């Protein structure tokens, strides 16, 4: 009788290895061989799920995006009131690299942004995701600012810049959350 294979479990194992390789060594180190070594599987198994490096890169980005969505969904569900300021704080805290999983996601996301800067075709999904985030943040800012779109772009740039500083060890997670609260005060006024 043939052995039953859990393809979701295998794909998750390979995805975890892919993210670890990208976070620890950069996207340039992402290869079938390196991912297979990290996952403890054969190169053939990795090739069964990804026919080339670009597919692995796109998958890595989709995994990071899904992690962000799941964290944001959980954070919003935990809110007593989905007021705009609380939603944006939950959003910022979900994206900032405040724990090991978010550090890995942050490093992969940063590496992917650099990757897409020189490969415009690969940047399409990143641009689409950014446009959705800007629209969401602008909707939350609404009447609190005269130009919600520009304020949304600024908020996202602030969170991404702050993330870089946390990843680089310039600020602690606690300092990042305090800075996030201060920035929200600038947008909405003090609590």
User: What's the CA gap between 22 and 104, in Å, rounded?
Assistant: 8
Q: What is the pLDDT of residue 54?
A: 78
Q: Give the number of domains in the chain.
A: 1
Q: Ranked by mean pLDDT, which of 28-32, 36-40, 176-180 comes out on top?
A: 176-180
Q: Ranked by mean pLDDT, which of 58-62, 102-106, 167-171 comes out on top?
A: 167-171
Position 2 in a domain:
no
Please give the full DSSP string across 48-84, using - where no structure is assigned: HH-SSHHHHHHHHHHHHHHHHHHHHHHHHHT-SS--H
Position 1 in a domain:
no
CATH code for the domain in which residue 52 is found: 1.10.357.10
What b/e readout covers 83-94, taking b as 16+ CB neighbours within 10 angstroms?
A: ebbbbbbbbbbb
Q: What is the pLDDT of residue 103?
A: 92
Q: Which domain holds residue 125?
A: 7-188
Position 36 in a domain:
yes
The residues, any chain, with a CB within 8 Å of residue 44's CB and separated by 6 or more, are none
Position 96 in a domain:
yes
Q: What is the pLDDT of residue 99?
A: 93
């Amino acid at each position: 009788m043939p052995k039953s294979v859990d393809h979701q479990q295998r794909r998750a194992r390979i995805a975890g290895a892919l993210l670890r390789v990208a976070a620890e060594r950069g996207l340039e180190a992402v290869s079938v061989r390196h991912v297979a070594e990290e996952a403890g599987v054969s190169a053939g198994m990795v090739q069964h799920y990804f026919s080339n490096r670009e597919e692995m890169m796109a998958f890595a980005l989709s995994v990071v995006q899904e992690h962000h969505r799941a964290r944001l969904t959980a954070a919003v569900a935990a809110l007593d009131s989905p007021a705009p300021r609380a939603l944006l704080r939950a959003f910022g805290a979900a994206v900032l690299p405040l724990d090991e999983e978010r550090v890995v996601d942050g490093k992969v996301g940063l590496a992917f942004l650099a990757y897409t800067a020189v490969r415009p075709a690969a940047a399409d999904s990143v641009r689409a995701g950014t446009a959705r985030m800007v629209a969401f943040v602008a909707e939350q800012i609404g009447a609190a600012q005269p130009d919600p779109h520009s304020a949304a772009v600024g908020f996202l740039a602030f969170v991404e810049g702050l993330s870089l500083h946390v990843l680089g060890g310039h600020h602690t997670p606690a300092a990042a959350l305090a800075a996030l609260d201060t920035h929200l005060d600038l947008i909405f006024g003090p609590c």
